[in-house]
Amino acid sequence: MSLPAAPTASPSPMGKGTLSRQLVLRTTALVALVTVALSVFTALASFQILQQQLDARLESAIGRPTGRNPDSGDTGNQPGDLGGSGLIRIDAATINGVLKYQVSARPDSVDDATVVALLSLRPERDPVTVAVSGSGLYRVLIQQRVLNAATITTVVGLPYSEVTTPMSSQLIMAGLLTVGAVILSFVAARRVVETSLRPLTRLAATATQVSNLPLESGEGHVPIRVAPQDANPASEVGRVGLAFNHMLDNVENALAVRHRSETKVRQFVADASHELRNPLASIRGYAELTRRGSEALPEDAAHALGRIEAESERMSALVQDLLLLARLDSEPTLDLRATDVTEIVLNAVSDARAANSDHTWALDLPEDVVTARADAHRLHQVVANLLANARTHTPAGTHVNTALRAEDGWAVISVTDNGPGVPPEIRDSVFERFTRADASRVRRAGGSSTGLGLAIVSAVVHAHGGQVWLDCEPGRTTFAIRIPLA
Ligand SMILES: Nc1ncnc2c1ncn2[C@@H]1O[C@H](COP(=O)(O)OP(=O)(O)OP(=O)(O)O)[C@@H](O)[C@H]1O
Ligand SMILES: [Mg+2]
């Protein structure tokens, strides 16, 4: 059985899916959105203003007041300032269907055809934007009036670049500013988020530490708490830290209560087992005495006495097992010293061989003597229990192989048989107390099974600082233990 792997290192603050990353990215996106919106809005406003200024200059160039009210009077309006370079001004008159015009200002690129084209445009009250061949876009204002049977047309135009040039530099500027704002907000948000989430990171580290504590055994003391500066109820994270500390207090209390009641139960089992030994010995003794008595007993009484003896013997063994388990639970009183494991395995297998000739018993020992730090008596009991299982839970003719080897600082003992295997439903709990195959199966096997044998194996091996495990494949059941070498 293995514990779920606890997270070892906390993820990096900007790691994928972390809260910091989300906060930073969202803040940056928001800043980018606002900056872009502002730039667009400002650009539109500047465009409006620049175009209005250009139009006002056209109005003044044509000699019309810039108030935008339709001005019917045509006298007294002098052409205003002609503006910067690039101005076009054409004055034309159509008298009796004949067009005559005079160009008072034009850039070199404007040819006669363009002039005629400009004159053919429909007059509008407001300036319009037109493409002038060779000179790009122009903002043009056309005025027409009738004077003494002659139609007088005045066209003034100014290059539209007076709007587009400042607009493009403004757009470039806005773009640069947007990029700068995004970078700045990313850096700032990252710093702020990292600083504000640092207590949370520390909290996570504490939680990880707690999750790695071995709480399943012992008094359940939890020596770790969130530091006071991270358990300050003034902040959200502080409240989590405070709640976490309360939870740890609670857990510690609960574990202490559990430990106390477990100790009581263990003590009770130990006392009860101890107290049961004497009356059991008396029962056995009296039964034996009666059977050996001079008078021949009736057959059924003799049978009953035999049963009393057998059952009280079984019960003594059970009481002894319980006492041993209770002792190993409270304070393992093992006599640990450098012990020759090879000899123990050898003896246990010869005992098994002597006790049972239905099975074949093989032994696989290394050439060198294996010495481990062990309690010889208890280790013998462990191997004997494994061999007893290989004998009692398998049919006659089963081959049992016992192997010993030393590897990586461990003495490994394994008992393998080719019997039917451990029933799947008890495989996971086979080392727990009172786990055994269902009763009918045990009865069929004719055994007196208690389900404590492997629990003792496990408790003794763990008290040695070792491990036990089961490998079950069809036709091959291996119980193995390992304890540290001396
Ligand atoms: N080698 C094996 N092959 C098949 N089943 C096994 C083997 N060893 C153990 N088992 C199963 O595991 C159960 C638990 O074994 P355990 O030694 O703990 O108890 P037990 O042998 O039933 O009783 P006890 O050993 O206390 O007399 C057994 O009842 C049996 O069903
Ligand atoms: Mg057993």
Q: How far is the CA of 422 from the centre of ligand 1 (A)?
A: 8
171 CA to centre of own chain? 45
Looking at residue 373, its pLDDT comes to: 94
Distance CA 476, CA 309 (A): 37
Q: Apex CA 368: angle with CA 379 and CA 353, to 5°?
A: 50
The CATH topology of domain 333-484 is Heat Shock Protein 90 (3.30.565)
- What sign for the dihedral angle of Cα 372, 376, 378, 379? positive
State if residue 454 touches ligand 1 by the CB under 6 angstroms criterion: yes
DSSP letter (8 states) at residue 7: P
Per-residue pLDDT 10s for the chain (486 aa) are 444 444 444 456 677 778 889 999 999 999 999 999 999 999 999 999 999 999 999 998 887 544 434 333 333 344 444 445 678 888 988 888 888 888 887 777 777 888 888 888 888 888 999 888 777 889 999 988 888 888 888 999 998 999 999 999 999 999 999 999 999 999 999 999 988 888 888 999 999 999 998 887 777 788 999 999 989 899 888 999 999 999 999 999 999 999 999 889 888 988 998 899 999 999 999 998 988 887 888 889 889 998 999 999 989 999 999 989 888 887 778 899 999 999 999 999 999 999 988 999 999 999 999 999 999 999 999 999 999 999 999 999 999 999 999 999 999 999 999 999 999 999 999 999 989 887 655 555 555 678 899 999 999 999 999 999 999 999 999 999 999 998
Looking at residue 460, its pLDDT comes to: 95
State if residue 437 touches ligand 1 by the CB under 6 angstroms criterion: yes
Residue in this structure with the two tokens 């053919």, named with its chain if needed: 120
CB atoms within 10 A of CB 221: 11
Residue in this structure with the two tokens 């009953």, named with its chain if needed: 304
Looking at residue 77, its pLDDT comes to: 40
Atom 25 of ligand 1: nearest residue by CA position = 453
Distance CA 140, CA 172 (A): 27
Distance CA 454, CA 155 (A): 111
DSSP letter (8 states) at residue 279: H
Q: How far is the CA of 332 from the centre of ligand 1 (A)?
A: 24
> Is residue 140 within 8 Å of 128, Cβ to Cβ?
yes
Token pair, residue 414, equals: 């394994």
What residues contact 241, with CB distance under 8 A and at least 6 apart? Answer: 199, 203, 226, 227, 230, 231, 232
- What sign for the dihedral angle of Cα 434, 437, 443, 448? negative
Instruction: Report the DSSP beta bridge partners of residue 139.
Output: 129, 158
Of ligand 1's atoms, which has the minimum distance to the CA of residue 419? 3
197 CA to centre of own chain? 17
Q: How far is the CA of 411 from the centre of ligand 1 (A)?
A: 23
Ligand nearest to the CA of 437: 1
Distance CA 24, CA 281 (A): 78
Distance CA 423, CA 437 (A): 7
* Long-range contacts of the stretch 297-306 (C-beta < 8 A, 24+): none
Q: How far is the CA of 389 from the centre of ligand 1 (A)?
A: 5
CB atoms within 10 A of CB 55: 18
State if residue 461 touches ligand 1 by the CB under 6 angstroms criterion: no
Looking at residue 64, its pLDDT comes to: 58
State if residue 20 touches ligand 1 by the CB under 6 angstroms criterion: no
Query: What distances in angstroms separate CA 342 from CA 317, 366, 406, one per listed residue?
Result: 27, 8, 10
Query: Rounded to the nearest 10 degrees, how much is the dihedral formed by the CA atoms of 444, 448, 452, 454?
Result: -60
Atom 20 of ligand 1: nearest residue by CA position = 451
CB atoms within 10 A of CB 337: 12
> Is residue 104 within 8 Å of 91, Cβ to Cβ?
yes
State if residue 270 touches ligand 1 by the CB under 6 angstroms criterion: no
Tell me the pTM: 0.59
Distance CA 327, CA 461 (A): 14
H or E segment and range at residue 152: strand 150-159
Distance CA 449, CA 453 (A): 9
Looking at residue 106, its pLDDT comes to: 75
DSSP letter (8 states) at residue 485: B
Ligand nearest to the CA of 321: 1
Provide the CATH number for the domain formed by 213-331 in this structure: 1.10.287
Residue in this structure with the two tokens 């790009």, named with its chain if needed: 136
Distance CA 354, CA 357 (A): 7
Looking at the chain, which residues constitute the CATH 3.30.565.10 domain(s)?
333-484
